[in-house]
């Protein structure tokens, strides 16, 4: 039996996400679920804390070097964890290292180029819209720094309140033998519990609520 060797690469955009595990759990789960479908093992893991728009990736360079040393395949949860740049993806393909994205494992090189092109376009459009919105707000005399801080505080408060409403339901899911974030999501969907945005639950949305609850209890042990 041939056991495939993989080197996993995960990327988060901020140091806060890296320290909290927010985003990493969902990526690790996606890779784990992919490997569960076949015969493969992760021999090394690399985590990068960097924006998708930047090409300087020391951890990715280390991951690629490890792949070459071990004759392993680079595995990522989603293509956009590598980059949202066509040139970056094209350069990666020339590194003589096989890589696979769990969200499109059968993708051809042509499709990967196309997906990267769409992702790059999306990043550019979002950036342009953000700049236009900030310029319009500034023209109206809005104090962007103060307004942004106020909105961020409101969003954080709303997310905390929502997490508290879900705490007993999450506990019930675990008592029903749901252990992983995917199992908890399946339990919540089966119970017709809507997510915060009114849709279905996914492992990532479960992870966000659980991480927030964990952070709250860590900050205030008496609340347990």
Torsion on CA atoms 28, 31, 36, 40, rounded to nearest 10: -110
Under a CB-based contact definition with an 8 Å cutoff, are residues 23 and 17 in contact?
A: yes
Rounded Cα distance, 197 and 80, in Å:
23
Q: Domain boundary residue among 100, 116, 132?
A: 116
> What is the pLDDT, as a whole number, of residue 86?
64
Is residue 63 pLDDT above 80, yes or no?
yes
**Residue 21 in domain:** yes
Collect all residues with Cβ–Cβ distance below 8 Å to 22 and sequence separation of at least 6. 12, 16, 207, 208, 211
Looking at the fold, whether 95 and 12 belong to one and the same domain comes out as yes
Looking at the fold, whether 9 and 108 belong to one and the same domain comes out as yes
Looking at the fold, whether 83 and 172 belong to one and the same domain comes out as no
Averaged confidence pLDDT in the chain: 77
Summarize pLDDT for 46-58 with one digit per residue, the tens: 998 876 556 678 8
Looking at the fold, whether 157 and 104 belong to one and the same domain comes out as no
Is residue 60 pLDDT above 80, yes or no?
yes
> What is the pLDDT, as a whole number, of residue 69?
93
Q: What percent of the chain has pLDDT over 90?
A: 12
126 pLDDT band, cuts 50/70/90, is confident
19 closest CA partner among 170, 218, 155: 218
**Residue 161 in domain:** yes
Is residue 44 pLDDT above 90, yes or no?
yes
Paired tokens of 78: 């989603």
Overall average pLDDT of the 117-136 stretch: 74
Overall average pLDDT of the 95-101 stretch: 82
> What is the pLDDT, as a whole number, of residue 134?
78
Range of the domain at 83: 4-116
SS3 31: helix
- Burial of residue 181 (CB within 10 Å: 0-12, 13-18, 19+) is buried
Is residue 222 pLDDT above 60, yes or no?
no
> What is the pLDDT, as a whole number, of residue 85?
61
Looking at the fold, whether 13 and 98 belong to one and the same domain comes out as yes
> What is the pLDDT, as a whole number, of residue 122?
66
**Residue 139 in domain:** no
Looking at the fold, whether 89 and 149 belong to one and the same domain comes out as no
pTM above 0.75, yes or no: no
Looking at the fold, whether 104 and 150 belong to one and the same domain comes out as no
> What is the pLDDT, as a whole number, of residue 21?
45
**Residue 26 in domain:** yes
**Residue 122 in domain:** no
Paired tokens of 125: 């459009």
Overall average pLDDT of the 177-198 stretch: 85
Which CATH number do you get for residue 29?
Answer: 3.40.50.1390
Looking at the fold, whether 158 and 70 belong to one and the same domain comes out as no
Write down the residue that tokens 């280390």 correspond to: 62
Total of domains in the chain = 2
- Burial of residue 7 (CB within 10 Å: 0-12, 13-18, 19+) is buried
Active-site residue numbers? Answer: 13
């Amino acid at each position: 039996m041939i056991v495939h060797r993989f080197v996993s690469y995960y990327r988060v955009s901020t140091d806060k996400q890296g320290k909290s595990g927010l985003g990493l759990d969902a990526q690790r789960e996606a890779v784990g679920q992919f490997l569960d479908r076949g015969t493969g093992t992760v021999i090394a893991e690399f985590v990068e804390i960097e924006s998708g728009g930047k090409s300087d990736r020391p951890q990715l360079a280390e991951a690629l070097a490890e792949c070459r040393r071990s004759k392993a395949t680079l595995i990522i949860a989603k293509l956009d964890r590598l980059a949202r740049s066509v040139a970056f993806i094209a350069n990666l393909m020339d590194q003589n290292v096989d890589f696979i994205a769990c969200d499109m494992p059968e993708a051809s090189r042509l499709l990967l180029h196309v997906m990267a092109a769409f992702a790059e376009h999306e990043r550019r459009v979002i950036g342009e819209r953000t700049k236009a919105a900030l310029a319009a707000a500034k023209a109206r005399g809005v104090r962007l720094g103060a307004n942004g801080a106020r909105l961020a505080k409101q969003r954080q408060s709303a997310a905390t309140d929502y997490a508290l409403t879900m705490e007993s339901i999450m506990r019930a899911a675990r008592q029903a033998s749901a252990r992983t974030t995917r199992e908890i999501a399946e339990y919540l969907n089966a119970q017709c519990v809507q997510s915060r945005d009114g849709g279905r639950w996914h492992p990532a949305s479960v992870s966000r609520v659980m991480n927030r609850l964990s952070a709250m209890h860590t900050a205030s042990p008496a609340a347990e």
